[in-house]
Structure 1
Amino acid sequence: MPSMRDLKRRIRSIRNTQHITRAMKMVAAAKLRKAQAQVTAARPYTEKLEEVVGRLMGSVDLMSQPLAAPREVKKVGYVLITGDRGLAGGYNANLIRLAEERLQTETRPAALVAVGRKGRDYFRRRQVEIVRSFTDIGDEPDITQARELARQLVDLYLAGTLDEINLIYSRFYSALRQVPRVDRLLPIAADDARGGGVEDYIYEPSPAAVLQSLLPRYCEIKVYRALLEAKASEHGARMTAMDNATENAAEMIDKLTLSFNRARQAAITREIVEVVAGADALK
């Protein structure tokens, strides 16, 4: 049985860890509120843009649009969006598992674009081809970062390095629920963008010209939304993980305190017995 000194040292150590996890939970909760507000604000704009693009794609010849024209897929790219840090429960592990499953079941040549240090480090050790990597996105992604990432993805697609690009990220529903998913980014298909005909609208200068100017923005907004969803999911997963760690630390402290009290009581009882035995010996 551990000594009283060892038990007291363990209780002190676990209590210090509990202070850290509680502080991390509060920080994650504050960041989650901001990230959730950004996600909520971005969704209506993204959905309306998808509707407009889908309506336009139903009225033009897609072969004239480089980002939407169908072509033979010789190489597939997966954009894996993970976090730069751990201590977020199974958030990073679930995304990496999904990406690994897609890469293993992919019948065509595939490559990876890693956004986040966790995904990059994992697949770099497994000799997976990584054509681009982005780290240090920060806790609040902005449109400038999304625009640069989207520009590089579009360049890879137009150059023929990748013939299809998919986003792997976690969609945020609540602090307790984040669902990893795969969305196609390029080529943009009419099924990916919701919309119908154009009979009620007049476009200037022409539907094809409007669509050509909207498709790059559509890619930027889709990447931006994925970054926001991923960051909100990461904060929610980290807050939940730190809350569970704090509760587990409290349970361990209670058990160790009970063991400490028992050991102290046993020591007191033993001392009393020794005193009584000594007094009897002197009689």
Structure 2
Amino acid sequence: MANLKEIRSRISSVSSTMQITGAMKMVSAAKLKKAQDAIIAMKPYAYKLKQLLEHLSSALGDENCYNPRSKEIKRVLLVPITSNRGLCGAFNANVIKKVLELTQNQYKNQEVQFYSLGKKGNDVLKKFDKTFKNNNEVFDKLSYSGAAALAEELMELYTSGTYDQIVLVYNSFKNAATQILTEEIFLPIQPIANAKASATDYLYEPSKKEIVEELIPRSLKTQLFKALRDSVAAEHGARMTAMHKATDNAQDLKNELILTYNKARQATITGEIIEIVGGSEALA
């Protein structure tokens, strides 16, 4: 059995860890509230805009340069959205695992490259020699302007023919304890499920050209910004949950150590009493 000094040292160490994880849980909870309010307010607008985008895209047909090209998909850009910090459970690992799974299965016959958003994803994926680019700064101060610049870069990569498909892989926020791993085709714009049944005769004001040049890029920027906000809210939820579990585990370990310490202390006291009694009987 470990001596009392070692056990006291371990109890002190676990107590310090518990204080840190408890503080991190509280910080994540505060950040989660703000991020949760932001994504909940944005989602209805983003979903409605995406629905409008799909209808417009189908109606514009070949006049929309963001529609699927007729040629076979040969080059795919996967955009994993992870975090810059760890200690958030399986949040980052799930995204990385999904990206590798897509590479080995769904896109095994295509040339695949990665555009990592977030340090943790890039740290792992850069080892596979498929990294096109990485951007860790987008999360330093997340804003619409930063997301818009990133979306413009992705749109240019598609319209120039560099890639035939661009796919976002990220954790979507459901609640503090649940994140939904999401695979979303960013470009090309996917046609609606039943184009004929949903066919609508649109009157275009301004012209179709202006809609393609203004409305559709703005919609794509909003979709990317929504995905980034979704990931940030999911990250704070995952970290809060992970720190809550870590704090509970530390408390359980501390209780076990205290029990072990008390047993060891009692055994030491009992041994000393036996020695005293034995010595007294020897003298008698």
- How far apart are residue 193 of structure 1 and its match? 11
The equivalent residue for 2:113 is: 111
The equivalent residue for 2:27 is: 27
The Cα offsets for residues 109-143 of structure 1, whole Å up to 9 and x where unpaired, read as: 1111100111111111122x221210033376211
Q: How does 1:32-111 map to 2 (within 5 A)?
A: 32-60=32-60, 62-72=61-71, 73-105=73-105, 106=107, 107-111=109-113
The equivalent residue for 2:216 is: 215
Aligned residue for 1:189, secondary structure, equals coil
- The residue type paired with residue 69 of structure 2 is P
Give the ranges of 4+ consecutive aligned residues of structure 1 lying more than 6 Å apart after TM superposition.
192-195
The Cα offsets for residues 62-99 of structure 1, whole Å up to 9 and x where unpaired, read as: 21111125232220111110111111101111110000
Counterparts in 2 of 1:93 and 1:192: CA distance versus 1, 3 Å: farther
The equivalent residue for 2:134 is: 133
After TM superposition, the structure 1 stretch with the greater mean CA deviation from structure 2, 129-138 or 145-154, is 129-138
Q: How does 1:192-207 map to 2 (within 5 A)?
A: 196-199=198-201, 202-207=203-208
* Cα-Cα RMSD: 2.0
- How far apart are residue 55 of structure 1 and its match? 3.0
The equivalent residue for 2:176 is: 175
Q: What stretches of structure 2 of length at least 5 have no aligned partner?
A: none
User: Does the aligned pair in 2 maintain the 1:56–1:197 contact within 8 Å?
Assistant: no
Q: How does 1:140-159 map to 2 (within 5 A)?
A: 141-159=142-160
- How far apart are residue 217 of structure 1 and its match? 0.8
Q: Percent identity?
A: 37
User: Does the aligned pair in 1 maintain the 2:25–2:241 contact within 8 Å?
Assistant: yes
Counterparts in 2 of 1:260 and 1:270: CA distance versus 1, 3 Å: same
- The residue type paired with residue 222 of structure 2 is I
Q: What stretches of structure 1 of length at least 5 have no aligned partner?
A: none
The equivalent residue for 2:18 is: 18
Task: Write the distance in 2 (CA, Å) between the matches of 1:192 and 1:4.
Answer: 69
Counterparts in 2 of 1:173 and 1:27: CA distance versus 1, 3 Å: same
Task: Write the distance in 2 (CA, Å) between the matches of 1:236 and 1:193.
Answer: 36
- How far apart are residue 36 of structure 1 and its match? 0.6
Task: Write the distance in 2 (CA, Å) between the matches of 1:224 and 1:189.
Answer: 18
Task: Write the distance in 1 (CA, Å) between the matches of 2:163 and 2:193.
Answer: 19
After TM superposition, the structure 1 stretch with the greater mean CA deviation from structure 2, 266-275 or 241-250, is 266-275
Give the total of aligned pairs. 280
User: Does the aligned pair in 1 maintain the 2:4–2:261 contact within 8 Å?
Assistant: yes
Aligned residue for 2:149, secondary structure, equals helix
Task: Write the distance in 1 (CA, Å) between the matches of 2:9 and 2:248.
Answer: 19
User: Does the aligned pair in 1 maintain the 2:151–2:224 contact within 8 Å?
Assistant: yes
TM-score by structure 2 length?
0.93
Task: Write the distance in 1 (CA, Å) between the matches of 2:166 and 2:193.
Answer: 13
- The residue type paired with residue 174 of structure 2 is Y
Counterparts in 2 of 1:138 and 1:69: CA distance versus 1, 3 Å: closer
- How far apart are residue 188 of structure 1 and its match? 0.8
User: Does the aligned pair in 2 maintain the 1:32–1:232 contact within 8 Å?
Assistant: yes
User: Does the aligned pair in 1 maintain the 2:138–2:147 contact within 8 Å?
Assistant: no
The equivalent residue for 2:3 is: 3
Aligned residue for 1:44, secondary structure, equals helix
User: Does the aligned pair in 1 maintain the 2:54–2:189 contact within 8 Å?
Assistant: no
User: Does the aligned pair in 1 maintain the 2:57–2:64 contact within 8 Å?
Assistant: no
After TM superposition, the structure 1 stretch with the greater mean CA deviation from structure 2, 266-275 or 65-74, is 65-74
